[in-house]
Amino acid sequence: MTRPAAMAGAARTTAPVVVRSGELSKGGRRHLLSVAELGAEGIEEILEVSDAFVEVGRRSIPKVPSLRGRTVVTLFAEQSTRTRLSFETAAKRLSADVLSFSVDTSSVKKGESLRDTVETVAAMGVDAFVVRHTSAGAPAAVARWVDASVVNAGDGWHEHPTQALLDCYTIRQVLAERSGRPSQGAGTGCFVGLRVAIVGDVRHSRVARSLVLALGALGAEVTLVAPGSLLPPSLEGWPVTKVSYDLDAVLPHVDVCYLLRLQSERGAGAFLPSVREYSAWYGLTSRRAALLGDGALVMHPGPMNRGVEIADDVAALPQSLVLRQVSNGVAVRMAVLFMLLGQVGSGGAAPDLAPTLAPTPGTVPGA
């Protein structure tokens, strides 16, 4: 995962970047494009590092100098508020310089290509691109074009790896709290046999793809619950235990009920007769929430459509982790950025978590 700083100015390579499973862990990581690259070991490593950053987040000044002098660009070619803010907050708390770049896809189509846009930004000297794009594979393309590290912040229907990581982190944190042990050093044993239902528009969901891969790698038993038109055409190669069309039958037997956002246009008659019908069959209403076993967790990646996939009062239940997911998101993204950019030299160096209480000499104007 370490990338020597000197490489930033090296000649651009046009060869496709081959990323093999496992390569991203233990010091060789350059990009985070897919959860599939991480494996159980890589996921556990990120969760462990996240623990340290959760601790940082609890400080009165939640900022550390780990990425001082590094530049992170958030390149978003799709509407997003929470993911962008989360990444930018993470980068700033690591003392990185953050450039925020919105690509209006229509203007890119009119003129400059995505490649030219990306290479132009890269030429300014950038250490990492955080890429959100409507096209599946766009972060992989950016990784082909530039030398900087690339973090996939959501690409089309493909993946949203940091969302899955923060979800896993949140599950692990809650289960550790319940068992009365610190989550630090807890490993990922809590996922083995954990029964998770992922409910909703799996077909069009990058969150679902990343989460299924992460939970599958960690040994969880994943059940997909969706109407037939919102399941992917093939589940070959998906680490999924079961597919169900009957949410009521599934709910009593799960430890986690993970609700996906239903995009309103899906309910316009093409994939579903109506949003109302979806809600009647697949929404987590109060009645359905009562079917959940004691202690079962309710999760949602946000933004929520209250009254569609989740009832307002269900979102407010104590076992609903929606806001905790958001706050953990910053720490997990700090961990990812730190692991990609922070460990100059040999891998495995501990994060520099010394508090940043005053401007460091290098940041004083005119110094």
Q: Which residues would be at the binding site for other proteins (CB under 8 A)?
A: 16, 18, 113-115, 133, 135-138, 140-141, 155-159, 206, 209, 232-238
> 323's torsion region: left (phi>0), alpha (psi -120 to 50) or beta?
alpha
Q: Which is nearer to other proteins, 30 or 172 (CB)?
A: 30
Q: Which is nearer to other proteins, 107 or 360 (CB)?
A: 107
Q: Which is nearer to other proteins, 97 or 119 (CB)?
A: 119
Q: Which is nearer to other proteins, 141 or 292 (CB)?
A: 141
Residue 203 neighbours by CB under 8 Å, 6+ apart: 157, 226, 229, 230, 231, 232, 233, 271
> 69's torsion region: left (phi>0), alpha (psi -120 to 50) or beta?
left
**Angstrom distance (rounded) from CA 287 to CA 248:** 10
**Angstrom distance (rounded) from CA 88 to CA 332:** 12
Residue 79 CB, nearest distance to other proteins (Å)? Answer: 17
Q: Which is nearer to other proteins, 143 or 297 (CB)?
A: 143
**Angstrom distance (rounded) from CA 215 to CA 37:** 14
Cis peptide before 303 (omega within 30 of 0): yes
Q: Which is nearer to other proteins, 38 or 96 (CB)?
A: 38
- The full length of the chain comes to 367
**Angstrom distance (rounded) from CA 145 to CA 119:** 7
Residue 316 neighbours by CB under 8 Å, 6+ apart: none
Q: Which is nearer to other proteins, 111 or 180 (CB)?
A: 111
Residue 109 CB, nearest distance to other proteins (Å)? Answer: 8
Residue by residue, DSSP assigns 331-350 as HHHHHHHHHHHT--SSTTPP
Residue 112 CB, nearest distance to other proteins (Å)? Answer: 11
Question: Which amino acid would we find at residue 27?
Answer: G
Residue 240 CB, nearest distance to other proteins (Å)? Answer: 11
Residue 116 CB, nearest distance to other proteins (Å)? Answer: 9
**Angstrom distance (rounded) from CA 211 to CA 177:** 22
The DSSP call for residue 12 is P
Residue 347 CB, nearest distance to other proteins (Å)? Answer: 25
Q: Which is nearer to other proteins, 157 or 338 (CB)?
A: 157
Residue 32 CB, nearest distance to other proteins (Å)? Answer: 15
Residue 231 CB, nearest distance to other proteins (Å)? Answer: 9
